[in-house]
Structure 1
């Protein structure tokens, strides 16, 4: 009887044959999907791999995903609520606040498009040539403004049909794309990644919000016709006040969404912080772009609308956050040590410990790993700084009927507006350049991939304009592979690294005990609890983890999780660690090939002992990894 090892990789794009530890010519493709594939070793077909990396990296338009980041952040905020053991009313109120924030964000983009197109370009710039030109300019401005939501709706609908519409033959159940989400639906639901009709309905609602926003703009145009500007900033201020209200509600409802291990939480009120970040990014960039258009069109500052009244707060927030990031990084540096590692007493031929240089390297990597697990704190810091700077700006200008930045002297006003016009629109441009350059730089590619793979894991339940999720295709396909292999071979080892462990948990969660009892689960460098469990406790907290642990049968396989103290992404999956599941792997490696012999045809040699720091990579080259696979094969075999 064959016991296969089915691997699934982490972030960083498509690894191809490297996932199997072999060169490209030593692997064969046994199944091809849409931007996915299943590979196997030629010499040892028992080792297979599911490659999903091209779902997030194979799009030539990926740099433009940056423009959809605010919608994606709001969508992610909706999944970061407390676990289902909390009050049902609080859960419904949290989701309602996120849906309200999503609708307000759509209205904000519509208003910014109208402010720039209708007021600045059409009414003020083209309108200088006379009344007829002004009417023509306003009509043209409406057409330009309508193009923004039209493009967003088109992108959302096209990606819905291509990636989220359920297809026959995937998954373990009937995936019919049911219209409504269940109140407490979690990863155990066979329909979790099959809500195509629900997304279609959500698109319709946001179409209504867009139409209502344009109706309000038409009303303001009729009321303000003949004035220096159309006063659309008043609508923007109303929407902004409602956004602040929804953020405040989320902060109260989700002050600490972490589960049982609340002290491990990377931040507080993360849903509110994510929405705040989305609001700050969208309004800041749009305000900077509007300011740039106003300057290019020669519109004097005393004719700017109130939508630019808080332009200084966006610049202040960016500067203060950059300072806060530097302070945070300096405080986190050097907090760990490697004093317990033995010192080297022999030469490099047969080392018996670490050199002082390597000890320092291990300590630095442990410090970076500990800091990385607290990185979501930066989102909360940014949110707090933005809200604080916005409040201060409003207090300094209580009379909003006065011209924009009237309290700033003319020389400083010119400098501030020039900096804002260059800095704020430059943020998304710089981000797009970084994403584009990531295809050429391995380190940068991993950083960008981590961000996108976390943000695009979640279905578009809360905002239809978010970047399309890759899980709507990856999870059902992986489920189908697991089910097929278990039924054919009577047993299976699921080996999941990094983000792949998150996909594996999502794929295994709906399966019954009969399937799981014939499946050994080996995760390595897993962010299930270190990141996902703290930010999304209802779906990856201790309750779902304990449920999967209890349903895997140790007599056949069970669950083993490998992590390192130097790993910035992976960590224990059971709270602070359960010796029956969580195994801390030494880094540097300590076991030599002499004390742990491997098969001659094994293409993945053991790591050299006391040689280097692996961090998040090369778990498959550890002796404990190979020993676990051997034990799984023994348990699941005849």
Structure 2
């Protein structure tokens, strides 16, 4: 019996035929879906690939996803809580805190549209003419401000119908898109990616928050009509204070999340850090645009609203974080070495028996970068801490104690930080949009951008409906059906996942029955299951769920084999440090072996030459360990 190998690629868009190691003309399309497809080698139908990359890179509006980044970060924050065993009460409190933060973010974003559109544009700029023009200007401002949430609600509803309304899976039990989220629901639940009813309810709640926010704006406009400025920013001060209070409470709730792997040091209070980052980005960039518009429109600085009192703290945060990032990179550079590799002694015209001095230095650099990249989630916590610290300092400096009721001193018009805010903060948004747009022309840049978006859009929209739509609502159920169909047809299957593809296959296999898993061999390589997802989302990819899947899949077609390299900045061990029957370290550069692995005649992927280069995150399919694992999986599945 010929057991098929079913490959699932990683980030970076659609890899096409390169996923199978053959040119495009040597592939055939087995199944064509909307933005996804299954392809196979024309000469060896046993090797197939699931191409899902267009789900995240084929949207012409992808650069505009940057504008939805704060909402997406809030949504991700809700999934970064500790393990379910940490306590039901703490988990509920954490989730409610994230929901409150999401509602406050919606309110603050709508207030910024009102501040810029109604107060600065309509009342103070157009309203200078006086009379009817002032009324018309305010009406125009209300129309512009209301258009933003209307657009967000429309986009959320359209993408909900296209992504959240998934079809029933195969071989894992029925799905019910109308079911509600349960307390302890994790990836092992068939319903995890099928909660359309919950998203519709969430949309209604945020629609209500938007209406209440605009009702408050209308009341302020009515009360303040005739003044030099409408002072809509006073509402923002209240929302901003509540945001800081909720972040502090969230940090206390999840300071020490459980589920960490041995030897893996993850970031503390990641949900609070993600919320802080979302709040800083949203309020900072909006405040920057407000200052920029005020300057261009000639709004006098003494009429700048109280909402700009913290404008300087956003600039300070960005600068300090950039300095901290540079220090963090320098401190981790050169920490690793390659002293374990033998030196080359053979002449250049003969096969190498070790590494040259230059190659040894390159291996050391790659190992250092990989070790640093595995600790990158800690940078989010660093940003959050700097933002909160700078915000507190700015508050202390801006409080006017001479007033009977303490007021706020507006930032000086000509200060260096105020000028920087008008350029730097809007520039962050514009630069990010241009970066995503430019990534379509650069493979390296596309992989970096895709990696960030694929992590952020992996999670369903449970906490904020304005988040970027999740590709997994389509990819995971479809992948589950493909795996189940092949297991039932062939009697067995080897599932092979690279990088983000290993995360997708983990999510697809988790809800399957033990009988189905016994017919699957699971091969992962360059996998961020532990190095990234296990750190950030311990309840879903922590030690317990990973060990549970490894235990359930072990009795069948050879179980789970995970390949990793010390030079891989993304992949690593899936069961943490120490000896493991699952994890297998692959030497990089490739080493000469006493007996070369016998390749099958139809195998187009040659073995990597020994002592030649550093592969890092790529070319696992050309390793002896990879081919040996596939051979063992097929042999064992054939005996079942």
TM-score computed with the length of structure 2 as normaliser: 0.97
Task: Give deviations 1:282-340, integer Å, cap 9, x for gaps.
Answer: 00000010111111111010001001111111111111111111101100100000101
8 Å contact from structure 1 (residues 68, 466) kept in 2:
yes
Task: Give deviations 1:208-230, integer Å, cap 9, x for gaps.
Answer: 00000001101111111111111
1:605 CA displacement: 0.2
Q: Is 1:317 aligned to residue 317 of structure 2?
A: yes
1:190 CA displacement: 0.3
Match of 1:140 in 2: 140
1:422 CA displacement: 1.1
Match of 2:462 in 1: 461
8 Å contact from structure 1 (residues 266, 373) kept in 2:
no
2: CA distance, partners of 1:204 / 1:311: 32
Task: Give deviations 1:166-224, integer Å, cap 9, x for gaps.
Answer: 22466733222124101110001001001111101100000000000001101111111
Match of 1:329 in 2: 329
1:575 CA displacement: 1.9
2: CA distance, partners of 1:198 / 1:180: 6
Task: Give deviations 1:242-285, integer Å, cap 9, x for gaps.
Answer: 10011001100111224143751331111101000000000000
2: CA distance, partners of 1:17 / 1:567: 23
1:233 CA displacement: 1.2
1: CA distance, partners of 2:575 / 2:52: 27
2: CA distance, partners of 1:402 / 1:580: 62
Match of 2:403 in 1: none
8 Å contact from structure 1 (residues 265, 535) kept in 2:
no
Q: Which stretch has the larger CA shift, 321-330 or 252-261?
A: 252-261
Q: Is 1:581 aligned to residue 575 of structure 2?
A: no
1:557 CA displacement: 2.1
Match of 1:516 in 2: 517
8 Å contact from structure 1 (residues 493, 632) kept in 2:
yes
RMSD of aligned Cα (Å): 1.3
SS at match of 1:161: helix
8 Å contact from structure 1 (residues 257, 534) kept in 2:
no
1:35 CA displacement: 0.3
Match of 1:536 in 2: 537
1: CA distance, partners of 2:262 / 2:154: 41
Q: Are residues 285 and 187 of structure 1, via their aligned partners in 2, closer, same or farther at CA, if it must alter by over 3 Å?
A: same
Match of 2:386 in 1: 385
8 Å contact from structure 1 (residues 175, 194) kept in 2:
yes
SS at match of 1:579: coil
Match of 2:77 in 1: 77
8 Å contact from structure 2 (residues 336, 365) kept in 1:
yes
1: CA distance, partners of 2:546 / 2:168: 29
Q: Is 1:438 aligned to residue 443 of structure 2?
A: no
SS at match of 1:439: helix
Task: Give deviations 1:406-450, integer Å, cap 9, x for gaps.
Answer: xx5x64x2x433221111111011011111111111111111011
Q: Which stretch has the larger CA shift, 62-71 or 171-180?
A: 171-180
1: CA distance, partners of 2:338 / 2:554: 36
2: CA distance, partners of 1:495 / 1:629: 9
TM-score computed with the length of structure 1 as normaliser: 0.97
Match of 1:548 in 2: 549
8 Å contact from structure 2 (residues 71, 466) kept in 1:
yes
Task: Give deviations 1:110-167, integer Å, cap 9, x for gaps.
Answer: 1000001110011111111113211111111111100111111111111011111122
Match of 2:564 in 1: 563
Q: How does 1:173-322 map to 2 (within 5 A)?
A: 173-261=173-261, 264-322=264-322
SS at match of 2:523: strand
Match of 2:488 in 1: 487
8 Å contact from structure 1 (residues 607, 621) kept in 2:
yes
SS at match of 2:382: helix
SS at match of 2:339: coil
8 Å contact from structure 1 (residues 563, 584) kept in 2:
yes
Q: How does 1:349-498 map to 2 (within 5 A)?
A: 349-399=350-400, 401-405=407-411, 408=412, 411=414, 413=415, 415-498=416-499
Q: Are residues 354 and 179 of structure 1, via their aligned partners in 2, closer, same or farther at CA, if it must alter by over 3 Å?
A: same
SS at match of 1:495: strand
Task: Give deviations 1:61-90, integer Å, cap 9, x for gaps.
Answer: 110000000000000000000001111000
2: CA distance, partners of 1:15 / 1:159: 24
Q: Is 1:21 aligned to residue 21 of structure 2?
A: yes
Q: Which stretch has the larger CA shift, 480-489 or 226-235?
A: 226-235
Match of 2:96 in 1: 96
1:554 CA displacement: 4.0
1:595 CA displacement: 2.4
2: CA distance, partners of 1:436 / 1:518: 43
SS at match of 1:574: coil
8 Å contact from structure 2 (residues 94, 250) kept in 1:
yes
1: CA distance, partners of 2:417 / 2:315: 9
1:403 CA displacement: 4.4
Match of 1:612 in 2: 613
1:402 CA displacement: 4.6
Match of 1:343 in 2: 343
1:397 CA displacement: 1.4
Q: Where does the alignment leave 5 or more consecutive residues of structure 2 unmatched?
A: 401-405
Q: Are residues 263 and 254 of structure 1, via their aligned partners in 2, closer, same or farther at CA, if it must alter by over 3 Å?
A: farther
